Amino acid sequence: MKFEPVQDQPIPPSPHGKVILVGAGPGDPDLLTIKALNAIRSADVIVFDRLVSPEIMALVPRGTRRIDVGKAPKCHRVPQDEINRLLLSEARQGHCVVRLKGGDPLIFGRGSEEAADLRAAAIEVSYVPGITSAQGAACSSGVPLTHRGLATGVRYVTGHRARDAHLDLDWASLANVDTTLVVYMGAMNVAEIASRLIAHGMPGPLPVMAIASATTPREARLISSLQNIAIDLENKPLDGPVLFVIGHVVSLHPDHAASLANMQPRPTADA
């Protein structure tokens, strides 16, 4: 079923403001939940970030106010504290505010941080889950997150820290070849991530998939290995936020067999 852009006017503001933290999913509007679509259609204000696809934003009714608070690496246009204050201000004016987030609001979406501030101010808050970026990427690419004989579990980690702080992950724990490792927002630090994992025991030839804009017409993928992913991504950059899937499951992607001939370590950017 295809959702068409809505042309109707938004519902008038309610007497008591509230905030709905809505997961917009990985980008394809057909992957929105019905509850998410209903929230978008009933909002007085949509506060969205750069991970929300244009196709999703096309579903916002005309006349609904839109506030872009998108962030990019090393470019925090609207700091998180300011976003929290914005949500609070809009809700106090009696508006139904939809905070629209890519993927799911409770998986690296800072939804719980925003909810805590709002609840502390006695503002009504609710959540609408979304299909995660990792799930969307897996189904779109055909690379499973778990597979019998290849991966007994999956772990999600973020590849950056707030305010670009030091990346202090538990590398020894993450370097487990029996577990698929999914790294969100890791493009800027992929060289460090790969070298740390190899240093803690992950094999260099372990396959890696980098994917951007999964489930949308702009989807782009790069199949590589842990030892080569940084230089390969530098030579063939992907546009937009990049998700990395690291593990034996990537060997199930059709392009992996074609890439085996190129699995020898390549010179680093510093060489």
Please state the length of the chain. 271
Quote the tokens at residue 74. 């090393």
Q: Measured between alpha carbons, how far is 42 from 185 in angstroms, rounded to an integer?
A: 31
Catalytic residue among 185, 202, 209, 232: 185
Q: How far apart are CA 126 and CA 91, in angstroms?
A: 13
What tokens does 121 get?
Answer: 């101010």
Cβ atoms of residues 98 and 45 within 8 Å? yes
The angle, 0 to 180 degrees and rounded to 10, between the axes of the packed helices 80-92 and 111-120 is 50
Query: Is 185 among the catalytic positions?
Result: yes
d(CA 212, CA 220): 5
- Strands 45-48 and 96-101 turn out to be parallel
Is residue 209 annotated as part of the catalytic site, yes or no?
no
- Residues pairing with 229 in the sheet: none
Please tell me which residue in 44, 49, 104, 232 is annotated as part of the active site. 49
Question: How is residue 78 annotated by DSSP?
Answer: S
Helices (DSSP H) in 15-105: which residue ranges? 34-42, 54-57, 80-92
Buried b or exposed e, range 90-106, using 16+ CB within 10 angstroms = bbeeebbbbbbbbbbbb
- Count of C-beta atoms within a 10 Å radius of residue 158: 15
Of 65, 1, 71, nearest to 37 by C-alpha is 1
Q: Which of 18, 57, 71, 255 is catalytic?
A: 71
Active site residue 202: no
Among all residues, which ones are annotated catalytic? 49, 71, 185
